Each structure stands twice: as C-alpha cells, then as structure tokens.
Amino acid sequence: MSIGNSPEDDRPSEDRIPHADDDRPSIGRVLQQARIDAGLTVDEVSQSTRVRIPIVHAIEQDDFSRCGGDVYARGHIRTLARAVGVDPEPLLEQYGAEHGGRPAPTPATPLFEAERIRSEPRRPNWTAAMVAAIVAVIAFVGYTAVNGGDDGGDKQQAAEGPTPATSKTTSPKPSPTTKKPADPKPDPSDSAIAAAPRDKVTVKINAADGRSWISAKDHNGRIMFDGLLEQGQSKTFQDNQKIDLVLGDAGAIQLFVNGKQIEDEFQPGQVERLTYTKGDPEVG
C-alpha cells in the first residue's frame, strides 16, 4: 500500500486498460485467474516476488503504466507468472504483439523503488591503518638498532684511544634500512576469484553486454552494493556464509561464483534473485 493514498487511488483507471483485439484472455486476466487457482492473495504474491501491491493490482487489470517501461513490464510479467505457476513465454509474446514488439531500453531505477535501501556510510579501513602503523614501528626499531650499535662502537673506540693510522681501516657505514609500507588490504578482486577460498563465498559480477542495476547483501542482510553497473564494469563481493543478489537485467551480466562461471542463459530484461553459499555454484 502506498503512503498517503487509499487503495482505490492505487488501482488503475479504466481509460489506461488496453483491450485485446482477439478472443484469448488478457495477460492480466490470465495472471489473476492463475493466482486465484493457486490459492494466493495479492499480498502473498507481492511478498514472494517483491513486486509492490499497487503494481500487482495494475498488471492484473492490464495496466502496465506503473511498471516504468516495457523492459520492466516484461520482467514483472515473467516474475508474476512464475510465482503463480504459469508459463511466462506465451504471455510475453502476447505482450510484445499488443505493445509493439521488443522494448526500448529504459532506466533501471523505477523498478526497484521498494528494494532500494540507503547504503551504509563507508567505514574507516582500520586494517590498512593497523598494517601501516606496524610497518612504521618495525622500520623505526630497525633504524634505532642500527644507529645504536654504531654509537656503542664509537664510544668504545674513544675510551681505548686512537689506533695507528697505518693499521686503521674504515668500513662503509651501513645505511639505515627502510621498509616500504605495505599497501592497504585490497577489496576482493580477480586474485580473490582465482584463489576462491573454500571457507568463504566469492561472487564476481561483470556487466559484459550492457548496464544493469544490481543489489548485493551479506548473510546478515546488510547492503554490500546497491546501484547501477555500467557496461564493462565489474564488482566482486565476499562473505563468510552467503551472498544474496538481485540482477535488474540478468541478460547483460556475466556471473562468477567461487572461481567458476555460471552458465545459466538469462534473458535480456530478466529480473533474477539469486543466493550463493560456500561450495556453490548453484543457483539459490
């Protein structure tokens, strides 16, 4: 239910509902009847698919204006059809025939209004700071030990008196050794994918064929990333137990789990919700 509006305000108006030209039932009618036959309420379908209640009502009344574009209308139809046990392909073909074929690209943001959560503020990288501090202490101790040993030798020689110039040999004074500070611990990357530690789950997402909105959460439900991944960009996530994903346009994504590529053939505009754990790849 949307805030500030009554349920009646969220229902589609009659002038926005398309009418089918043939005798077959409309897309919304098929989804509604399948939901009723499955014994599901609109609230239950909304909870299982994460499609907002007003959008479910609108689609069942053949009003797709709330979906945010053809790409997301197709994604909603596919998701709702699977939730009520209906083959989505005939419905998608019917939608294409009634709404002009393949959809034009549209922004990914409107589909996920209910799922977007304010990202947590970036926390200081205490690990990197600690490593830098330890390296600095080690370098200081080494430098002090080298200089201290030289001073002791000079004092002992002064007490014993100068040695004859003919027998005195000078050796080059060792220069203080300095250690290069270790680089801060990097985020999981291709090296982490290659190593694929067995005690963790590592997921890499590559937007190879186009841009897509993605959301990633750890096993505690905390947001690891929530935003748009442009074509050619990639993100890698790692957790001790599991990672939950939502892919806005799964057909544009290459997915690697624990060092292995996921071979599932996702369709363009397809919305996928996946969960991976240690020992996968297996679609959650």
This prediction has a pTM of: 0.33
Concatenating the DSSP letter of every residue in the chain gives --TTS-HHHHSPPGGG----SSSSPPHHHHHHHHHHHTT--HHHHHHHH---HHHHHHHHTT--GGGSSHHHHHHHHHHHHHHHT--HHHHHHHHHHHHTSSPPP--SGGGGTTT--PPPPPPP-HHHHHHHHHHHHHHHHHHHHHHHHHHHHHHHHHHH-PPPTTT----PPPPPP-PPPPPPPPPS-HHHHHH--TTSEEEEEE--SS-EEEEEE-TT--EEEEEEE-TT-EEEEEESSEEEEEETTGGG-EEEETTEE----PPTT--EEEEEETT-----
Q: Which residues of the chain are in CATH 1.10.260.40 domains?
A: 7-112
* Homologous superfamily (CATH) for 7-112: lambda repressor-like DNA-binding domains (1.10.260.40)
- For residue 206, CA distances in Å to 185, 219, 267, 279 come to 22, 22, 16, 21
Task: Give per-residue pLDDT as tens, 57-69.
Answer: 999 999 999 888 8
Q: Which pLDDT score is estimated for 82?
A: 93
- Identify any residues that bridge with 117 across adjacent strands, giving them in sequence order: none
Q: Which pLDDT score is estimated for 144?
A: 83
Q: Which pLDDT score is estimated for 148?
A: 63
Q: What is the mean pLDDT of each run of 10 residues along the chain (284 residues)?
A: 45 47 82 93 94 94 91 93 93 88 52 46 75 90 74 46 49 57 52 65 86 89 89 90 85 83 79 84 53
Q: Which pLDDT score is estimated for 81?
A: 92
Q: Which pLDDT score is estimated for 35?
A: 93
Q: Which pLDDT score is estimated for 8?
A: 46
Question: Would you say 188 and 238 are in contact if contact means Cβ atoms under 8 Å apart?
Answer: yes
Rounded CA-CA distance 191/184 in Å is 15
